[in-house]
Structures are given as C-alpha cells and as structure tokens.
A and B are shown apart, each in its own frame.
Chain A
C-alpha cells in the first residue's frame, strides 16, 4: 500500500462569511474524498462540520462541490486526481451555508411538501394492487433518487437565480411529479388533480430549458431530463394546446381553482 500527503483546500466559515483553509493530509490506497475530510476532522480540525451517513452512495448526505463540481464525497475516489493536484472542497453553492461544508437544504423539504401525494385508487384493497413490471419501470427509475440534491444545486434556474426559488421546484421535485404521473395506479385525476398541468403552473416546469446539467451530476445515473422532464413537458404541452382537452378543462374547472 502506498501513502502520500495530499493538499486540500476546504471552505470553513458560516453564514457571516468564511474562507478556504489549507490542509496537508495523508491519503492511502482506495480512499475517497470523505475519508480525507474525516482524517482532517480526527487529526487537525475536530469541529470541521460535514454531513455524512452511509459512506456507500446510498443516502445522499455528503454532497459538496469538489473542484467546483457537485459530487458525493463518499463516491469520489482520490485516484481520480493527480497526487500534485490541490483538491478544493466547498459547500453546495445553491443553498445557504450553515457551517463549513454543511448547508441549509430546507428549500428541498419545502418543495417536497408542495407536491401532492400519491392518490390511492378507490375500491382497490391493500393486497389487490396489480401492476406489470414494464409499467412500473419508469417510475422505479425515478424512485432510485437518493435526495442528495446535487441536481437542485447544479440547476442554473436556481443556482444563479435565487429569485426563482419560490416558483421553481427544481429537477428533483419535477421528477417526483413525473413519477406520480407515470404511476400506473395513481388516481390523482379522479380527484380532479391534473399533475401535468400543476407541473407547469405550480411547480415551474417552464423554467427548465433542458440543458441536462441535472442528469450529468446525478450519482444514481437517473435520466432526469430525458425520462422525466422532457416527457412531462410534452404532456403538459399536449394538455395546454390540445383544443379538446382545453375545452374539457374549461368546462370541468370549478370556480375556486
């Protein structure tokens, strides 16, 4: 096994401000960036704040920006860098800093609450649900999401436009709308909820101009843009401009909505 000392620059500070701090720290074979952050914590800065849990790419806690790119620290191997590289680790830029590498990701939890939940089909008892694998494949792909929020962080609609946050749910939660819309037994439409329309009108689907940045950073390899957002856009557009659907909506729409 071969070890060497790597040069790290880690952002330290809080809401008031902060700066990059230099560390020289030991690296061993097979290690990932999170191992190095932990070593800094254990030997040089016991109060360095960082979120992590599973250390296996399954929980989506240790999101940060490594040399400017949104990544999971536990899935970024040191072997992808040259030994001479200076590795810069900074908190997710789209969210307010709490301390060091920890950001306030409350935006995402707020948006999660704004997406209407699954509506169970009336008259189908528990145990009686029947669905074919091919009909659940697509929604299952979206349910692989580990909520690391890297897509939310990288999406330029909010990354550089704080003012859009109120109106835009971001790729993760637009994908949630798509997931429910494609669920074979979701009965939202029976209850008067048109998920496609709400994607456009309530959750800001129109802000997305399919640059696929979200797909690129997804550690689960989910085709967010191609499989969730574009189909959702197409369906939403069908709804909007199909004169029959338009008329139907006009007639059925209640005054309060």
Chain B
C-alpha cells in the first residue's frame, strides 16, 4: 500500500454544514471519538446562505400551531411523496432542536413577550419560522460551530488536547468511502492545502455533504455543492431515491449576469412582498392549482387583509409552495410579460416603510444595493427561478438515518432523500438538518459502540483511490493527439446541458439528449487534465468533483425521464398533470457496476440503473389528519380503500 497516513476514529462526519455539525455534536456527546471533514473552512458551509428561518411548530406567534399541522403542511408541500415517518419525526422534534440552540448561545429575534419570534412562509399554515432577520443560516452555523468549540474546550480541560475527542479536518475532501465486505471501514481523503492523501478509519461514516446545484448553470448554490455525498453513497453501493425532484427557487437574482441565481429570500414574500408582471398585474392569482384552491385568497384585498387577520382571511398566492411559484414565473416570462432582464418584479417598496424593510430584510437590502445598484426600499427587484435544492438523495431509514444496504453508512440533511417528497417547503431545511443530523450522529455513535471488532482497511482500495485521485495529473489527450480536456470547460458544458435539458420544465426528447451529452462529457472527463502540482490546486479539485457531478446528473436525467407525470419539483411538459398512480412509486438509482467501478467506456448504457420501489402505506392516524376530500386528490384508488 502506498504510504498514506491513517488515523482511527469512531465516527467520521463528511460535511460541516448544519447537519454535519449537529451529527458531530451528538456523536461526541454520546461518547464517540468524532472527526468532521469539510471542503471549506470551518464555519463557511452552505448553511450560512439560508436566510428565512427554521420551521418548528412552537406556536409562539399563533398558538393554533402544532406538530400535526406542520406535518400536514409538509406532506401537502411534498405532494404526498414524502417518506411520512421522516416528516412525522421532523415535525415532532423540530421545536426541541430550536430551543436547544438557545442553550448553546443562539440569539433569535423575539416576540413582545420575549419568546422566539416566528414568521410566515410559503406553504406553512401558521407563522412558524424562527429567524434572525434574514441571516438565520449564519446564526445556525455559528451556534453549532461555537458548540463544537465549547465541547473542545471541555476536552482541553480534561485531556489537555482540544482535539482529543472531536476534531475538524477543514479544507479536506473525501473521494471514496472504504469498505470491509459490506460494511463501512473508513474514508479516503485529501488535504487541499498540501494535496496530501490520508485515511480516516472508522466503522461509522455520516454523509452530510448537502446538494447538487453546481451541476446547473443558474443556481443559488456555492462551489461545494457538487453532489459529493450522493456520489460517495452510490459508489459505496447505497441507492439514491427520487433524484428527479430538484427545487427551483422562484426568486433568484437575474441581473447583473455575474450574480444571476443568487437567492432572494422567501421572507420578502412572507413579510408582504408581491410578484408583478410587466403589466403590473399580481399574476399569482391566476396560478392557484386545484389542490390548493380553498386555501388561498381569491382577491388582492383578501390576501392583503390576511397579514393582519389570518384567522378570517386566506393567504395570498405569492405564498404558495415554491414549485408552484417558480412555474408561474416561468410561464409569465415565456408569455412575454417578463421584466427587462427576463424575470418578474418582486416588490416590497410599495408594501412597507423603508425603515421596516431595512430592519426585516437587511441582507437583501445590502445585496441589491451592492451588487445590482437597486434600492429595494424604493423600487422593485427583478427575480426569476434558480436551482436551489435537491429533494432526492440517499435512501435512508427514517428513524436511524442509516443508508440502505451499507452497514455503517448514515446520511442527513440535503444529501438524504425522502423527507421532503417532491418539493420542500421553505424553512423545513434548517429544521431537517437539526432533527436528522442529531439522529444520524446518535445512531452512528451507537452502531460504532456496538461493534465487536473494527472493520479493516483494505490496502487495495486505498491504492485504487489514490490512483483515481492522481489521474488528472497524467491525463492524456485523445488518440488523434489533441490536448487534455480543461475541467472548467467540461464543467460549464455540464451546467449548460442540465440547465437547458433537465431544468424547470422537462420534455422526453430533451432528457434523452441530456443523457447523450452526459455520456460524451463522461468520456471527455476521463481526460480532464490540470497544470501545476498538488498544493491547493483548484483545477485538480474540480477535475475530481466532475466525477460526482456527472454521476448525480445522470441520476437526475434518468429518473426524470422515467417519471411520466408532473409533481412538485418535477414538471413534464409532455405529462403536465399529477398522476395518483405514481404516488406510491419511488425511483431508486443504483450504480450499474456493484463493485463501485465506473463504466465510463460504455456511453449508451451509462452508469446508473433505475429500480421502482413501492412505498409503505401512510399510517392511519396520520392520514386521519386530512379531510377525505383532500386525500382523494393525492392518493391512488387502492390506497383510499385499504
């Protein structure tokens, strides 16, 4: 075996966003020696970008709220495709997870009686999102970061070593999960700063790597979101679930070009902002789908009254779930009623006083002022859909967050599938991170503690992983003597293909073409080459991330081609309606080669097999939370009469 440093830990957490840090805190508090490994600096993870808040039915602002109402909203938002047990656990446990943050030093905005304030958001029946202005994600990540430091301070007192039981390997990347037979045995990693390889031996690995947005051209996601955890799970033999469901957030910036896709928080609408087309019309009133007809205002007057008197009025349709709003904006622009730069207008300036806007939405004010020369207290913003979140992900057990079929592998947060069904509600992501981050950490620690013998590291796997990681330095040109491929060019072509062909509105021929293009890119990616050496070399890092983006993109395209209906974050122009027969069907993606090898030389077949999987029936007491008339719209015939 090549000379690679090896360290022993009980639990390795991959990713240091909300889910990863919460998992690490739990694992360490349960007595497991825990390592966290993350691509960026500690405290910079994508969670900092979350703006609106954490959904939790604390009932601080409207005491009518309860976990049951939260559960119901979540299932409606996900169009009943959610793994219902996850949605139940999430709704039940979210309040405790928020309150616990206060004991670690978090400072949320307050109600008049001194409790945690909660704001309205799309798809949530009551004001439910605990928030700190529009920088809630920063508060979350900083609080968890500071809790980790607090635990390290305890260890320093006890052992004289801050990192005795909890260590963060920052700016390091995992390229393979290692296995001993079926079981997880550790992770193969490289350090960005030096390019040095190392192995973390551990019986439990928690994947908490976030999403896949960097496979799309217009996205609110940062460079880290290259689907690493999704790919690591596939390569380790675990299936991915429902990858066709990708959320396009309705409001991203559209101008100037360099900021296209950057998120404009849903809080703008939650706090009273409205959407208008070029004719000045509040067009969302024309886009309320049948399943939501009874729950949304029919006139602007009623919608406006709702902000002050929610008990006697219905909410404005600007607060429909994100998939509905994104499609509506897309249609308006297509119909020629868009804004000058191809979006629509989002206006708060005529809806509340300037001072209030600056206080409630400080980072939006700052972002538009600095990046677009737009003063949102005086003029409307231009916004349009941006790739924001993937509902699909690693198939997990609802209670334990264990990945299917690979003992020792766990997943939490965006990288895990199931929780949000076909569409995630705003605010349910931060609560998801906390609820399932904790559960993953807990069960990963228990699993590690319960093993008699630690799984062994296989030297061949380490050598293979090292060779795979070094390939970009010795890339050869094609047979005709051309030069090696530029990884940045490949990445741009991949983003363009996914954006154009597997984007917000999908068609059969386009997705078939996407699979063709992905096959071509996959062949070329084998020849991606880089200059320079291994020390902090972004071109090299991107070459390695390309493998992951190509795998994940193929999953999305294949699953999207297979699901012949429109539901949540998956809209088929050729199958425009929701089909109740699809409700019970999950699509699982698996690697064609079960040994984790990549079939890069077979362009037609690709690397991914699709399997249909029928979901468990929803528990009767949970179904009883809904009116029969509503269930008829979602459930398949046979489910209604079971």
Interface residues of A (CB under 8 A from B): 1, 14, 28-32, 35, 41-43, 45-61, 75, 77, 98-100, 102, 104-105, 109, 112-113, 116-118, 120, 126-127, 129-133, 136, 139-140, 143-144, 146-147, 180, 183, 186
Known: A31-B256, A126-B100. A143 touches B44 (CB 8 A): no
A147 CB contact (under 8 Å) in B43, B105, B223, B531: B43
Cβ contact within 8 Å between A60 and B222: no
Q: Please choose the segment from B1-9, B138-146, B243-251, B511-519 that sits at the chain A interface, where 4 or more of its residues have CB less than 8 A away.
A: B138-146
Q: Is the CB of A58 within 8 A of B49?
A: yes
Cβ-based interface call for B23 (8 A)? no
Q: Judge whether B95 is part of the interface by a CB distance below 8 angstroms.
A: yes
Contact among B105, B222, B535 with A59 in the assembled complex (CB-CB below 8 Å): B222
B80 at the interface (CB under 8 A from A): no
Instruction: Looking at the assembled complex, report how far the CB atom of A230 sits from the nearest CB atom of chain B, in whole angstroms.
Output: 21
**The one of A41, A75, A105, A116 that contacts B539, using a Cβ cutoff of 8 Å:** A41
Is B43's CB under 8 angstroms from A116's CB? no
B107 pairs with A113, CB closer than 8 A: no
> In whole angstroms, what is the CA distance A31 to B371 when docked?
9
| Contact A32 to B371, CB < 8 A, known contacts A49-B536, A59-B44, A136-B110 | yes
What are some 15 contacts across the A-B interface (CB < 8 A)?
A1-B257, A28-B257, A32-B371, A46-B486, A46-B539, A50-B538, A52-B223, A55-B222, A56-B371, A58-B49, A59-B40, A99-B193, A129-B103, A139-B107, A147-B44
Is the beta-carbon distance between B110 and A143 smaller than 8 angstroms?
no
Q: Would you call A127 and B538 a contact (CB within 8 A)?
A: no
Inter-chain contact A47/B537, CB cutoff 8 Å? yes
Contacts A98-B193, A140-B107; is A53 near B46 (CB within 8 Å)?
yes
- Interface residue? B224 (CB, 8 A): yes
Enumerate B337-393 residues with CB–CB distance to A below 8 Å. Answer: 363, 366-367, 370-372
CB-CB nearest in chain B for A127: B99
Do A130 and B162 touch across chains, with their CB atoms under 8 A apart? Answer: no
User: Which of B162, B193, B531, B535 has the largest number of chain A CB atoms within 10 A?
Assistant: B535
CA distance A43 to B487 in the complex (A): 11
CB distance from B527 to the nearest CB of A (A): 14
CB-based contact B44/A53 at 8 Å: yes
The answer to whether A31 touches B258, judged by C-beta atoms less than 8 angstroms apart, is yes
Do the beta carbons of A143 and B539 come within 8 Å of each other? no
Which residues of B are found within 8 Å of A77, using beta-carbon distances? 370-371
Query: What chain A residues lie within 8 Å of B153 (beta carbons)?
Result: 113, 116-117
B259 touches A30 (CB 8 A): yes
Distance in Å: Cβ of A95 to nearest Cβ of chain B: 12
| B contact residues around A45 at 8 Å (CB) | 531
Residues of chain B having any CB pair with chain A under 8 Å: 40-44, 46, 48-49, 58, 95-96, 99-100, 102-105, 107, 109-110, 113-115, 132-133, 135, 138-139, 142, 146-147, 149-150, 152-153, 156, 162, 193, 222-224, 255-259, 262-263, 363, 366-367, 370-372, 486-489, 492, 530-533, 535-540
Kindly provide the distance from the CB of A106 to the nearest chain B CB, expressed in whole angstroms: 9
Q: Which of B46, B132, B258 contacts A140 (CB 8 A)?
A: B132
Query: Are B110 and A132 in contact, CB atoms less than 8 angstroms apart?
Result: yes
Q: Which residues of B contact A41 (CB under 8 A)?
A: 488, 538-539
Q: How far is the CA of A158 from the CA of B113 in the complex (A)?
A: 44
Within 8 Å by CB of B105, from A31, A127, A183, lies A183
CB distance from A113 to the nearest CB of B (A): 6
Which of B41, B107, B149, B488 is the most central at the interface, judged by chain A CB atoms within 10 Å of its CB? B107
Question: Which among A30, A49, A98, A133 is the interface contact of B258 at CB below 8 angstroms?
Answer: A30
- Chain B residue with the shortest CB-CB distance to A43: B488
Contact status B538-A46, CB under 8 Å:
yes
Bound CA span A75–B139, Å: 21
- B96, closest chain A residue (CB): A126
- The reply to whether A146 and B149 contact each other, CB–CB distance below 8 Å, is no
Once A31-B256, A32-B258, A59-B49 are accepted as A-B contacts, the answer to whether A47 and B146 lie under 8 Å apart by CB is no
Out of B46, B110, B223, B536, which one reaches A99, CB within 8 Å? B536
What's the minimum C-beta distance from B330 to chain A, rounded to whole angstroms? 23
User: Contacts A29-B257, A41-B488, A47-B537 known; A112 to B149 CB distance under 8 Å?
Assistant: yes
Knowing A46-B486, A49-B537, A130-B114 touch, does A55 contact B262 (C-beta < 8 A)? yes
Are B539 and A47 in contact (CB-based, < 8 A)? Answer: yes
Q: Which residues of A contact B152 (CB under 8 A)?
A: 113
Q: What's the least CB distance linking B27 to chain A, in Å?
A: 19
B contact residues around A136 at 8 Å (CB): 107, 109-110
Apart from A28-B258, A129-B103, A147-B44, list 9 A-B contacts with CB within 8 A: A47-B538, A49-B538, A50-B538, A56-B49, A105-B41, A129-B102, A130-B113, A143-B142, A183-B105
Bound: A117/B115 CA distance, A: 23
Residues of B within 8 A of A48 (CB): 538
Q: Given A59-B44, A143-B107: A118 and B532 within 8 A (CB)?
A: no
Residues of A within 8 A of B105 (CB): 117-118, 180, 183, 186
Q: Which of A54, A112, A117 has the most CB of B within 10 A?
A: A54
Pairs A-B, 4 closest by C-beta atoms = A30-B256, A118-B105, A47-B532, A46-B539
A146 & B536 in contact (Cβ 8 Å cutoff): no
| Complex CA–CA separation, A47 to B104 (angstroms) | 40
Known: A56-B262, A105-B41. A98 touches B536 (CB 8 A): yes
Given known A-B contacts A47-B540, A61-B44, A131 and B99 have beta carbons under 8 A apart? no
**A contact residues around B536 at 8 Å (CB):** 49, 98-100, 102
Which A residues are CB-close (under 8 A) to B539? 41, 46-47
A14's closest neighbor in chain B, by CB?
B535
A118 to B142, CA, bound (A): 12
Q: Most chain-B CB neighbours within 10 Å: which of A46, A132, A183?
A: A46
Residue of B nearest to A130 (CB): B114
CB distance B258 to A35 under 8 Å?
Answer: yes
List the A residue with the shortest CB-CB distance to B224. Answer: A53
Q: Contact between B487 and A46 (Cβ–Cβ < 8 Å)?
A: yes
Contact check, B222 vs A30: say whether CB atoms are below 8 A apart.
Answer: no
Contact A54 B535 (CB under 8 A): no
| CB within 8 Å for A29 and B256 given contacts A54-B46, A132-B110, A183-B105 | yes
A104→B139 CA distance, assembly (Å): 25
In the complex, how many angstroms separate the beta carbon of A69 from the nearest chain B beta carbon? 16
The reply to whether A127 and B258 form a contact with Cβ atoms under 8 Å apart is no
Contacts of A60 in B (CB 8 A): 44
Most B C-beta atoms less than 10 A away, residue of A1, A47, A49, A131: A47
* Closest A residue by C-beta to B101: A126
Give bound CA distance, A120 to B487, whole Å. Answer: 49
CB distance from B254 to the nearest CB of A (A): 11
**In the complex, chain B residues whose CB is within 8 Å of the CB of A35:** 258
- With A54-B48, A116-B153 as known contacts, state yes or no: A99 contacts B538, CB within 8 Å: no
**Contact in complex: A30, B255 (CB < 8 Å):** yes
